[in-house]
């Protein structure tokens, strides 16, 4: 091993949290090293998460649309065929160009990229097993843990990423399954379920709760998207739990029953996607060597400045509290470097948008109706359907709605919930409005270009403090 070199900051993990912090630290003039073990930067998001899934979502949507939605647009197409291998290649090209882009940004910002697995040797030293098998170590005045998360396993099912898969297998299947059962109707289940449903699989989603979409999605919006996904061919079993799995034969069997006990049945599938959530990943990090502990959900415990009980060791991203989202990790990365260099930093956890990239998309920011009710907040609701929006009509893509929740007295926006075309882009306006403490009247009196989908956003705001014009 070479003698330990001292850095201002050592980052363990080169995912969105770690790589953004590294670039920001470089920009602030810190001597910084980032240790990443997977052989590519960008973490879950770029390599096996956000980016590859969105490539497949986009291209499977195009395929599905060309198959089912061209005639009434005046386009006659001939023989349409799926070339899955090429669809996967397109995905790989997007991924590799983006991960290489981060390597370039590291060089540009003087970040040292250490390819290997890091573990705490002591409070200031990280031992690194390099990819070539050799060992080294690096010392840090500050150390940032950004080791991310992994999918939560389902007891009794063995993940082989072929027959019983997580999202990692779901972005890399070599053929379209006949029958796919998705365990967990959250974001991953619905996004990856959509991909394979569009490509021809019979997809059944088994969800423990009474609604799909995972935590945070407004119940009315959830019902709305479920209806549309059902029209696309997806089947749903809500209030249903998987009791037992048998993956010993080629066809996987799942015993399911009503969540509250009762009617049981056995589902069969050639592929089972386990999508019941993700859990923090801190395995083999040597936490025991420095006395750091995780909470009962595996999260590293931190204060409001991201510090562990050892104040020079901080934690951000999926391996600590908060929603497991790339843009949340990115906000924290900037804030944590500001805490280190300037002693202040800020993330508004009340204004972090969520987007589900199905078709139509679902997007929201702020609180939903159930949360407001539980908090005893008096609120008013304004909605506008895309079926009354001119652009959605011309695009022949008008399923969905925009919904505002605002304080009953002050009209301040408390939540925005959208299901509809381009909801993921449109939510940026809702996030900005929330961040600036806008009222629905502020939005409703702002000019929005015609004809755009964004007019539905304006009109839903108008419907909250007064009346919409076109509905």
- Establish if 43 lies at the interface with ligand NAD (CB under 6 A): no
181 to 210, contacts with ligand NAD by CB under 6 A?
183-189, 191, 206-209
> CA 12 to CA 61: how far, in whole Å?
37
> CA 179 to CA 253: how far, in whole Å?
11
The correct pick among 9, 17, 340, 423 for binding ligand FAD (CB under 6 A) is 17
- Establish if 36 lies at the interface with ligand FAD (CB under 6 A): yes
User: Which value, in Å, is the radius of gyration of the alpha carbons in the chain?
Assistant: 24
Three-state DSSP string of 400-413:
CEEEEEEECCCCEE
Q: Which residues carry out catalysis?
A: 450
- Identify which range of 140-148, 216-224, 261-269, 378-386 contacts ligand FAD by CB under 6 A: 140-148
13 binds, among ligand NAD, ligand FAD, none (CB under 5 to 8 A by kind): ligand FAD
Angle between helices 50-68 and 187-198 (to 10 degrees): 40
336 to 365, contacts with ligand NAD by CB under 6 A?
355-357
- Establish if 143 lies at the interface with ligand NAD (CB under 6 A): no
- Identify which range of 43-51, 80-88, 359-367, 396-404 contacts ligand FAD by CB under 6 A: 43-51
Residue 204: CB minimum distance to ligand NAD, A: 12
From residue 16, give the alpha-carbon distance in Å to each of 267, 297, 302. Answer: 37, 21, 19
> CA 336 to CA 329: how far, in whole Å?
10
- Identify which range of 47-55, 173-181, 298-306, 411-419 contacts ligand FAD by CB under 6 A: 47-55
180 to 209, contacts with ligand FAD by CB under 6 A?
188
Q: Which is nearer to ligand FAD, 146 or 453 (CB)?
A: 146
Whether 143 and 313 have beta carbons less than 8 Å apart is answered as yes
185 binds, among ligand NAD, ligand FAD, none (CB under 5 to 8 A by kind): ligand NAD
- Establish if 392 lies at the interface with ligand FAD (CB under 6 A): no
* Strand 149-151 relative to strand 379-385, pairing: unpaired
Whether 410 and 380 have beta carbons less than 8 Å apart is answered as no
**Cis bond before residue 200 (omega within 30° of 0):** no
- Establish if 37 lies at the interface with ligand FAD (CB under 6 A): yes
DSSP states along 337-382: HHHHHHS-----GGG--EEE-SSSEEEEEE--HHHHHHHT--EEEE
From residue 238, give the alpha-carbon distance in Å to each of 36, 256, 261, 316, 430. Answer: 39, 11, 13, 34, 30
- Establish if 45 lies at the interface with ligand NAD (CB under 6 A): no
- Establish if 285 lies at the interface with ligand FAD (CB under 6 A): yes
12 binds, among ligand NAD, ligand FAD, none (CB under 5 to 8 A by kind): ligand FAD
Residue 65: CB minimum distance to ligand NAD, A: 20
Q: Which is nearer to ligand FAD, 36 or 459 (CB)?
A: 36
Length of the chain in terms of residues written: 471
Residue 54: CB minimum distance to ligand NAD, A: 8
Please give the residue ranges that form the binding site for ligand NAD (CB under 6 A): 183-189, 191, 206-209, 214-215, 241-242, 275-278, 323-325, 355-357
């Amino acid at each position: 091993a070479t003698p330990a070199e001292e850095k201002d900051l050592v980052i363990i993990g080169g995912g969105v949290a770690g790589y953004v912090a590294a670039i920001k630290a470089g920009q602030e003039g810190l001597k910084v090293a980032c240790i990443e073990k997977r052989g590519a930067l960008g973490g879950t998001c770029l390599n096996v998460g956000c980016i590859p899934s969105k490539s497949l979502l986009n291209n499977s949507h195009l395929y599905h649309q060309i198959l089912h939605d061209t005639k009434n647009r005046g386009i006659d197409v001939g023989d349409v065929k799926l070339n899955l291998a090429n669809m996967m290649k397109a995905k790989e090209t997007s991924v590799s160009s983006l991960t290489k882009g981060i390597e370039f940004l590291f060089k540009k910002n003087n970040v040292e990229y250490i390819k290997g697995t890091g573990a705490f040797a002591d409070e200031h030293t990280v031992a690194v097993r390099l990819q070539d098998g050799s060992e080294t170590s690096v010392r840090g005045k500050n150390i940032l843990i950004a080791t991310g998360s992994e999918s939560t396993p389902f007891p009794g099912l063995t993940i082989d990423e072929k027959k019983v898969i997580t999202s990692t297998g779901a972005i890399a299947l070599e053929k379209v399954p006949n029958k796919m059962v998705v365990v967990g109707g959250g974001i991953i289940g619905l996004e990856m379920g959509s991909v394979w449903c569009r490509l021809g699989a019979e997809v059944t989603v088994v969800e423990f709760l009474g609604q799909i979409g995972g935590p945070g999605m407004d119940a009315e919006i959830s019902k709305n998207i479920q209806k549309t996904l059902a029209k696309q061919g997806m089947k749903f079993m809500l209030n249903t739990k998987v009791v037992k799995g048998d993956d010993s034969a080629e066809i996987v069997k799942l015993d399911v029953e009503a969540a509250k006990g009762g009617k049981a049945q056995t589902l069969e599938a050639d592929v089972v996607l386990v999508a019941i959530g993700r859990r923090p990943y801190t395995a083999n990090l040597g936490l025991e060597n420095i006395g750091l502990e995780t909470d009962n959900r595996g999260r590293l415990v931190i204060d409001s400045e991201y510090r562990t009980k050892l104040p020079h060791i901080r934690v951000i991203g999926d391996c600590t509290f908060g929603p497991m989202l790339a843009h949340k990790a990115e906000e924290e990365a900037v804030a944590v470097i500001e805490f280190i260099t300037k002693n202040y930093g800020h993330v508004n956890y009340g204004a972090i948008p969520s987007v589900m990239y199905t078709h139509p998309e679902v997007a929201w920011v702020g609180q939903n109706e159930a949360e407001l009710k539980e908090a005893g907040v008096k609120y008013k609701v304004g909605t506008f359907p895309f079926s009354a929006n001119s652009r959605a009509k011309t695009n022949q893509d008008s399923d969905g709605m925009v919904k505002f929740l605002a304080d009953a007295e002050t009209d301040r926006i408390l939540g925005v919930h959208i299901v509809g075309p381009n909801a993921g882009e449109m939510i940026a306006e809702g996030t900005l409005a929330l961040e600036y403490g806008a009222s629905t009247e502020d939005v409703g009196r702002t000019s929005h270009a015609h004809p755009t989908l964004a007019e539905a956003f304006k009109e839903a705001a108008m419907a909250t403090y007064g009346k919409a014009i076109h509905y």
